[in-house]
Amino acid sequence: VSIEVVPDPERPRDDCGEQLKETPLPPRQPFCDIAARHKAYLAELREAAAQVLSSGNYVSGGRVKELETELCGFTGAQHAFACANGTVALELSLRALGIVPGDGVIVPAYTFIASAGAVSNVGAVPIFADVDRRTLNLSAATIEQALGLARQRPTHQAKPRAIIAVNIFGSPCEYNELREVAGKHKLKIIEDGAQSFGATYRGARSGTLGDVSACSFFPAKPLGGLADGGAVFCADGDVARQVRLLANHGYDPQEAEHTFVGTNARLGELQAALLSVALRHFPAQAERREEIARMYRSGLQEHFDLQDQPQGSTSAHAQFAVVVRGDNPEQKRQELINRLARLGIEGRQYYTKPLHLQRAFSTLGYQRGDLPIYEDLCRRVFNVPNDPFSVTPDQVARIIAALV
């Protein structure tokens, strides 16, 4: 498809405008091209789906078990439980660790609502924390600040019991630091690895970085299925058993009894079979994401702040975040997004409406200024497309040229 590129009035014509005219980008490039991803191994998906269809076994069969074994093999986790989605994976994790109504759970405000919503859904109280300006994730300092703020406010008196460590955009938190502060305050760590499947921290994979880890297989995630899906990972056999019971109405097959009231949070056989196919292709896709991230990093780092990864870690690059520097960041960001739009490229803003100030959490009484770093980042961050099925390296080079 060829389109006419409208010259950008903000840029000198000899900058990248002329180049772009020669080989224009297609219009309305999808930000994440899930259909193209699946097209690459459509025959395998069809075969896997056909097998499930003809088996007549759609829930709690061998495919889910196989997927769980494969997930343990990939992540290095001792136990995996494949479940309905990433939100319930977090809820199961919280409940399996013994978090009960009224307990406090520290959550970064810079995240998708599910990280904090899961806390509310189990009756616990989110204690919102700021993030580190460079990693965009929790740090020991921001956790201590959140605990300090909670101590000062009569509305924030829930006893802190756990931390939800979100690896935002796929980049791991500095877990050594988090483990130290968790040890000091006797807090459990739940890794929210919804965006970080495949990431590593000091040789360990996402899925093994918390006391319990939750993952999402929502289609657009690094390992995406063809519907909702998720997993809980852990090393402790008792916790794993509790997760399994919770997710299947508290039913203990050995005792042939419902030992407590749980819920239904199971993954279906069809999704498990499709995810097994996706997992086989995951390493090659992750490499391509890494290559795109390297290009963005080297092309943009002089002009923007970019998300820092802790030493010895690798990101899953669920998204690539760009932080606008200097004054009038919102205006600059909009200009850059407009520039991309003229090339048929979408620049997105994720989580830029401060979560702690949204109506869903208004009863918690947070005020503007409580989490100053995240609130400032909300005015500066945007995301550029980094899905290898949506943008080629050549197109990434053009995006960089348009932004700098």
Ligand X SMILES: Cc1ncc(COP(=O)(O)O)c(C=O)c1O
Figure out which of the listed residues 75, 135, 142, 195 binds ligand X, where binding follows CB under 6 A: 195
Tally of CB atoms within 10 A around 370: 20
Complex with ligand X: residue 194 or 355, whichever CB lies closer: 194
User: Does residue number 194 form part of the binding site for ligand X (CB under 6 A)?
Assistant: yes
Q: Which is nearer to ligand X, 105 or 403 (CB)?
A: 105
What order of strands is seen across the sheet that includes strand 200-201? 204-205, 200-201, 313-314
| CA 364 to each of CA 31, 127, 356: distance values in angstroms, whole numbers, following the listed order | 34, 9, 8
- Binding string, residues 30-69; x marks residues near ligand X by CB under 6 A: ----------------------------------------
Distance CA(32)–CA(389), nearest Å, equals: 7
Tell whether residue 197 is a contact of ligand X (CB under 6 A): no
CB of 115 to ligand X, least distance (A): 5
CB of 220 to ligand X, least distance (A): 8
- Sequence-ordered alpha helix ranges (H) in 186-322: 237-246, 269-300
**Contacts with ligand X: how many residues (CB under 6 A)?**
15
CA distances for 323 relative to 146, 297, 317, 371, angstroms: 24, 12, 15, 17
Question: Binding of ligand X at residue 87 (CB under 6 A)?
Answer: yes
Which residues face 321 on adjacent strands?
A: 383
Closest CB to ligand X among residues 20, 278: 278
In the list 197, 218, 296, 382, the residue contacting ligand X (rule: CB under 6 A) is: 218
DSSP letter, residue 372? H
Shorter beta-carbon distance to ligand X: residue 119 or 166: 166
Establish if 307 lies at the interface with ligand X (CB under 6 A): no
Is the CB of 228 or the CB of 269 nearer to ligand X? 228
Question: CA-to-CA distance for 119 and 111, rounded, in angstroms?
Answer: 13
The minimum distance between CB 223 and ligand X, in angstroms, equals 11
Is residue 112 at the binding interface for ligand X, with CB under 6 A as the rule?
Answer: yes
Element (H or E) spanning 68, and its range?
helix 62-75
Q: Scanning the structure block, which residue is given the tokens 């995630």?
A: 221
In DSSP terms, which residues pair with 340 in a beta bridge? none
Among 29, 135, 208, 216, binds ligand X (CB under 6 A): 216
Residues that bind ligand X in the complex, under the rule CB under 6 A:
85-87, 111-112, 114-115, 166, 192, 194-195, 216, 218, 228, 230
